[in-house]
């Protein structure tokens, strides 16, 4: 295991060096990609080994790192997240080889390659951090490398603004995390997690609640919980697509890792209202995330909002687990947490796949706007197949992985009937309703995303001339598509592994045996069981049987290709197709109270007569609630505050000298009187 660790670190470092030194050529790109892929692969193997063996990997700092106070330890939970990093990182690295070719000469490939490897390195080490200082250093390293990557296409409009928002929000979260770790560790940031675990039980309830709130804020800002999500739909679309895959697939999961680590492992769980707040935040994020995603026609912004939604679903599972934990229902708590973690890896795979697919489309057509695409399925068969698999997975269609984890989240919520207090128990049905609505809306959104982008007739000349992606990009997508299918067909492998991962954290028992039965997935107390493997088998059998029976009964097999039926009209143009905005219009009307769509209509009449119209411009936008109601006033307040403070900078040296002597006087007085 130690050798795998060394391979991983050296691969990433070599990759970063190779990027910095060579930069632009195809060989350089191949080296960078290969290094990142090898590093991720090693990380994947390492994580899997730690989970399988159940033995954590410990390091001492004096031998490996010059900075004192750094401690690394890889346990089951860290191993699981390392698997997530490795899986998505490997696919994104292979994809990056083909994708980064378009950046040669325009943007700095050196910086991008180096930062990519360093980001993966920071992510891999993040999950191994064993004290607060290491955790915080790596957290900041992760944020900064991600920031550099977001700014790759820096001359495009909107990129710099997205970068600024990203940096500001991640640092706001970081400040909260520093405060939280100071509280947890008793102001000694180099105390290990083990001692923090022991000391957490001795903290006062007020401190514990403060830790919870700070953790929720800090990790929530990284994960993208509503209302701290505004940077996500800005930053993820403007980054290069393989970086978007890492950002959405892995980086935001570090928020989940932090929450589980701090709330469950270090704090050992808490009162029921903690779980309730997490559950509520999750449910609201899920619903609002998907509602905003529905109205987007920028493909990558749509996917970014779906990340908010899926983080919400993960938090629903985690929150339910925490609630059960606070009532001592340990098996149900394990179920909730397992469902949250399972959805984590599932989301990483299918969101990574979808972002890589969106990157292929962007590479082929040069645009992210769905309204200019169409008919791509005929020109890009592989990309569309993989995007379809990703869409079906995120819509929770059986037998893929999204269904398996959502089924588990539903089952953990259904366990709410075991909660003794009815007031808390009644939150569960509401969460079930919101989760079901979210999942239905997600399916609707992906019918739109896949259908408008890939089906029917091309809506622009760029779409007509689209070409299939190069083999490296297809390979990257294929890896994640295969992972989606495998994770969906084999939950009876994943769930026991997750049970082993969670053993011991927060006092959870070893539940890996409680959840599976042959090929089926069974919930505790035999509440429910289902087997995606057998369902998939059954579907395949039926799909083969139906044409066979039709053949035996000599059904008419003729097929004739003709025009679309258009009521006899004389031609069909792309203008006659349904658009993405039109597809989402019924939902826009249904949820108009939330969207508050604005409408602007301007009509240009012919100068000679107002009975002839030259052009009509129709503009409709939805009101961005959070930016307007929450961040707008906040930013205006900060700006006012800054302007008031500016008055102190009068420019006169005398005044500044006065400030210095005044401050010195106050400090002397304080020192005298304390």
Partner 1 sequence: MKGYLLEISQALIALVLAPGLVGFVRWWKARLQGRRGAAPWLVYYDLRKLFAKEVVISKNTSWIFRFTPYLVFSSTLAVTLLIPLVAAPLPFDRIGDLLLVVYLLLLGTFFLALAGLDPGTAFGGMGASREMTIAAIAEPTIALSIFGLAVGAGSTNLGRIVAETLAHPSAAISPGHLLGFAALFTVMLAETGRLPVDNPSTHLELTMIHEAMVLEYSGRYLALIEWAAAVRLLIFFSLLANMFAPWGVAATLTPVAVGIAAVALVAKLAALGLVVAFLETRLAKLRLFRVPELLAVSFVLALLAVTSSFLLR
Partner 2 sequence: MSLFAKILRTPTVTEKLTRGDTEAEVEMIARQIDGRARRLFGRSLHIREVDAGSCNGCELEISALGNPYYDMERFGLHFVASPRHADCLLVTGPVTRNMAEPLKRTYDATPDPKIVIAIGDCARNCGVFKASYAVVGGVDKVIPVNVFVPGCPPEPIDILRGLLSALDRLPRERDQI
C-alpha pair distances (Å), 151 with each of 45, 223, 254, 351: 31, 20, 21, 21
Considering only residues 539, 629, 641, 667, which one is a binding residue for partner 1 as defined by CB under 8 A? Answer: 539
What is the DSSP secondary structure assignment for residue 82, as one 8-state letter?
H
Residues in the chain: 674
C-alpha pair distances (Å), 598 with each of 103, 141, 223, 571: 38, 41, 30, 34
| Tokens encoding 537 | 């088998």
636 binds partner 2 (CB under 8 A): no
| Tokens encoding 552 | 């035996």
Site string for partner 1, 448-487 (x = CB under 8 A): x-xxx-xxxx------------------------------
**β-pair partners for 74:** 57
In angstroms, rounded to a whole number, what is the distance separating the alpha carbons of residues 150 and 145? 9
Determine contact, residues 312/286, Cβ cutoff 8 Å.
yes
Contact stretch for partner 2 (CB under 8 A) within 7-15, 309-317, 393-401, 554-562: 554-562
Nearest approach, Cβ of 560 to partner 2 (angstroms)? 7
Residues 408-437 that bind partner 1 (CB under 8 A): 410-411, 414, 417, 422, 425-426, 429-430, 432-437
469: partner contacted, choices partner 2, partner 1, none (Cβ within 5-8 A by kind)? none
In angstroms, rounded to a whole number, what is the distance separating the alpha carbons of residues 321 and 259? 12
Q: Between 44 and 354, name the residue whose CB sits nearer to partner 1.
A: 354
CA count, 13 A, side-chain hemisphere, 658: 8
| Tokens encoding 419 | 């909660």
Considering only residues 49, 111, 444, 514, which one is a binding residue for partner 1 as defined by CB under 8 A? Answer: 444
609 binds partner 1 (CB under 8 A): no
Q: Between 562 and 573, name the residue whose CB sits nearer to partner 2.
A: 562
654 binds partner 2 (CB under 8 A): no
**β-pair partners for 438:** none
In angstroms, rounded to a whole number, what is the distance separating the alpha carbons of residues 458 and 372? 8
443: partner contacted, choices partner 1, partner 2, none (Cβ within 5-8 A by kind)? partner 1
Residues in contact with partner 2, total (CB under 8 A)? 9
586: partner contacted, choices partner 1, partner 2, none (Cβ within 5-8 A by kind)? partner 1
Determine contact, residues 431/283, Cβ cutoff 8 Å.
yes
447: partner contacted, choices partner 1, partner 2, none (Cβ within 5-8 A by kind)? partner 1
Considering only residues 565, 611, 612, 673, which one is a binding residue for partner 2 as defined by CB under 8 A? Answer: 565
593 binds partner 1 (CB under 8 A): no
8 CB-contact burial (10 Å; exposed 0-12 / middle 13-18 / buried 19+): buried
In angstroms, rounded to a whole number, what is the distance separating the alpha carbons of residues 330 and 155? 53
Q: Between 158 and 586, name the residue whose CB sits nearer to partner 1.
A: 586
Q: Between 565 and 611, name the residue whose CB sits nearer to partner 2.
A: 565
Residues in contact with partner 1, total (CB under 8 A)? 86
| Tokens encoding 479 | 């890896």
Residues 568-587 that bind partner 2 (CB under 8 A): 568-570
Nearest approach, Cβ of 107 to partner 1 (angstroms)? 35
CA count, 13 A, side-chain hemisphere, 498: 28
Considering only residues 52, 64, 576, 635, which one is a binding residue for partner 1 as defined by CB under 8 A? Answer: 576
Nearest approach, Cβ of 554 to partner 2 (angstroms)? 13
C-alpha pair distances (Å), 626 with each of 167, 175, 252, 470: 18, 22, 20, 40
Residues 500-529 that bind partner 1 (CB under 8 A): 517, 520, 525-529
Nearest approach, Cβ of 555 to partner 2 (angstroms)? 13
Give me the residues that bind partner 2 (CB under 8 A), please.
Answer: 558, 560, 562-563, 565, 567-570
């Amino acid at each position: 295991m130690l050798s795998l660790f060394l391979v991983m670190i050296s691969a990433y470092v070599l990759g970063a060096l190779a990027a910095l030194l060579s930069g632009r050529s195809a060989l350089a790109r191949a080296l960078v990609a290969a290094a990142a892929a090898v590093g991720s692969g090693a990380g994947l193997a390492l994580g899997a080994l730690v989970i399988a063996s159940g033995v954590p990997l410990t390091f001492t700092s004096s031998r490996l790192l010059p900075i004192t106070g750094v401690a690394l330890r890889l346990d089951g939970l860290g191993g699981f997240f390392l698997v997530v990093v490795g899986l998505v990182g490997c696919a994104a690295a292979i994809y990056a080889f083909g994708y980064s070719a378009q950046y040669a000469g325009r943007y700095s490939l050196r910086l991008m390659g180096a930062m990519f490897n360093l980001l993966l390195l920071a992510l891999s080490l993040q999950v191994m951090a064993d004290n607060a200082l290491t955790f915080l250093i790596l957290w900041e390293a992760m944020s900064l490398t991600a920031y550099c990557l977001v700014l790759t296409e820096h001359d495009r409009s909107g990129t710099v603004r997205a970068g600024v928002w990203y940096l500001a929000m991640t640092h706001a979260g970081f400040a909260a995390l520093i405060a939280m770790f100071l509280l947890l560790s008793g102001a000694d940031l180099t105390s290990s997690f083990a001692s923090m675990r022991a000391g957490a039980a001795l903290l006062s309830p007020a401190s514990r609640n403060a830790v919870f709130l700070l953790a929720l804020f800090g990790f929530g800002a990284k994960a993208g919980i509503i209302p701290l999500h505004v940077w996500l739909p800005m930053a993820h679309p403007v980054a290069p697509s393989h970086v978007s895959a890492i950002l959405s697939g892995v980086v935001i999961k570090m928020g989940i890792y932090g929450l589980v680590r701090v709330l469950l492992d270090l704090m050992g769980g808490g009162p029921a209202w903690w779980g309730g707040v997490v559950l509520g935040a999750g449910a609201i994020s899920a619903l609002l995330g998907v509602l905003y995603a529905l109205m987007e026609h920028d493909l990558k912004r749509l996917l970014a909002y779906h990340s908010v939604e899926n983080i919400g679903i993960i938090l629903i599972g985690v929150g339910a687990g925490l609630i059960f934990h606070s009532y001592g229902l340990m098996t149900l708590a394990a179920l909730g947490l397992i469902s949250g973690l399972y959805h984590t890896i599932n989301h990483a795979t299918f969101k990574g796949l979808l972002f890589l697919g969106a990157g292929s489309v962007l590479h082929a057509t040069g645009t992210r706007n769905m309204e200019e695409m169409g008919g791509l399925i005929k020109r890009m068969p592989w990309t569309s197949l993989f995007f379809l698999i990703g869409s079906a997975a995120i819509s929770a269609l059986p037998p893929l992985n999204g269904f398996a984890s959502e089924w588990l989240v539903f089952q953990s919520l259904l366990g709410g009937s075991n909660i003794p207090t009815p007031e808390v128990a009644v939150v569960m049905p509401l969460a079930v309703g919101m989760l079901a609505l979210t999942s239905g809306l997600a399916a609707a959104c992906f019918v739109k995303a896949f259908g408008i982008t890939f089906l029917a007739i091309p809506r622009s000349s760029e779409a007509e001339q689209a070409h299939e992606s190069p083999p490296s990009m297809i390979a990257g997508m294929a890896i994640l598509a295969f992972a989606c299918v495998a994770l969906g067909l084999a939950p009876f492998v994943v769930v026991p592994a997750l049970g082993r991962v969670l053993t011991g954290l927060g006092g959870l028992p070893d539940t890996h045996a409680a959840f599976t039965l042959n090929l089926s997935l069974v919930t505790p107390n035999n509440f429910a069981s289902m087997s995606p493997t057998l369902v998939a088998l059954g579907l395949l059998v039926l799909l083969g049987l139906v044409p066979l029976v039709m053949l035996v009964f000599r059904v008419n097999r003729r097929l004739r290709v003709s025009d679309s039926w258009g009521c006899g009209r004389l031609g069909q143009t792309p203008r006659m197709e349904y658009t993405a905005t039109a597809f989402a219009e019924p939902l826009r009307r249904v949820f108009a109270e939330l969207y508050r769509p604005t409408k602007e209509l301007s009509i240009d009449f012919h100068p000679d007569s107002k009975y002839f119209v030259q052009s009509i411009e129709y503009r409709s936008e939805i009101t961005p609630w959070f930016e307007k109601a929450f961040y707008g006033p906040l930013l205006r307040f900060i700006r006012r505050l800054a302007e008031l403070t500016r008055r102190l900078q009068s420019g006169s040296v005398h005044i500044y000298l006065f400030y210095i002597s005044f401050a010195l006087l106050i400090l002397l007085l304080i020192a005298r009187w304390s």
